[in-house]
Amino acid sequence: MSLPPVTVKKILYATDLSENARPALAYAVSLANAYGAQIVILHVIDETPEFVDNHVINYIGAEDWEAIKRRNVSEARDILIGKKRSGDIAREVLDRFCQNLRPGTADHETAMDETVIKSGNPVTQILQTAEEKTCDLIVMGTHGRGALMDTMLGSTTSRVIRRAPVPVVAVPITR
């Protein structure tokens, strides 16, 4: 019995810009180097659906939920755009997030094909981007936003794994 050849030409690295996403980038870079593949970096600014708002409000109250959402939006904006509103600056910040992970090495810089920033449902946007960019593999961390969202909705990674038409490498938090 012979195994079919595995070819990986393009890898989608999905990041929420948390500390937990950093080990996943190391895997994406390593796999890109091993296969000679390009990396598409994706960050999705999550827009929580209204039904989730209503459900969460029943548990923690409207005021607390709004404070959490404001803090998350503010943190994402600060991380992505450095308190400025230019799309070019957002891409530069995201590129620096990736480059600063392995200072002194240039191997990951040549593997980066493009940076994509989208807003919406992270699972939907990850799957759509993988299809649009014809990615052969998705690499992402297993935790990001926090226990409350993971408990209420199920983790983004597990939902991507269940729905993805290509293999998904789920990199756990290293302690």
Report the Cα 140 to chain-centroid distance in Å: 6
User: How much is the CA Rg of the chain, to the nearest whole Å?
Assistant: 17
The answer to whether position 113 is within a domain reads yes
| Residue 165 covered by a domain | yes
The whole-angstrom separation of Cα 152 and Cα 154 is 6
Q: How many domains does the chain have?
A: 1
pLDDT of residue 22: 78
Q: What is the pTM of this model?
A: 0.68
- Mean pLDDT across 147-164: 72
Most confident of 51-55, 64-68, 77-81, 136-140: 136-140
User: Which domain does 137 fall in, by range?
Assistant: 10-47+87-171
Q: pLDDT band for position 67 (50/70/90)?
A: confident
**Does residue 21 fall inside a structural domain?**
yes
Domain assignment present for 42: yes
CATH number, domain of 166, equals 3.40.50.620
Q: Are 37 and 135 in contact (CB under 8 A)?
A: no
Residue 70 lies in a domain: no
Measure the CA–CA gap between 44 and 116, rounded to whole angstroms. 8
| 5 secondary structure, DSSP code | P
Structure tokens at 99: 């480059």
Q: What is the pLDDT of residue 118?
A: 84
Q: What's CA 102's distance to the chain center, in Å?
A: 18
Does 49 score more than 70 pLDDT? no
pLDDT of 139 higher than 60:
yes
Q: What DSSP string runs through 48-79? A: --HHHHHHHHHHH-HHHHHHHHHHHHHHHHHH
Enter the tokens of residue 103: 């200072």
User: Is residue 22 assigned to a domain?
Assistant: yes
**Distance separating alpha carbons of residues 156 and 147, to the nearest angstrom:** 12
- The whole-number average pLDDT for the span 48-53 is 60
**61 lies in a domain?**
no
Residue at 62 is within a domain: no
> The tokens of 40 are what?
């598409």
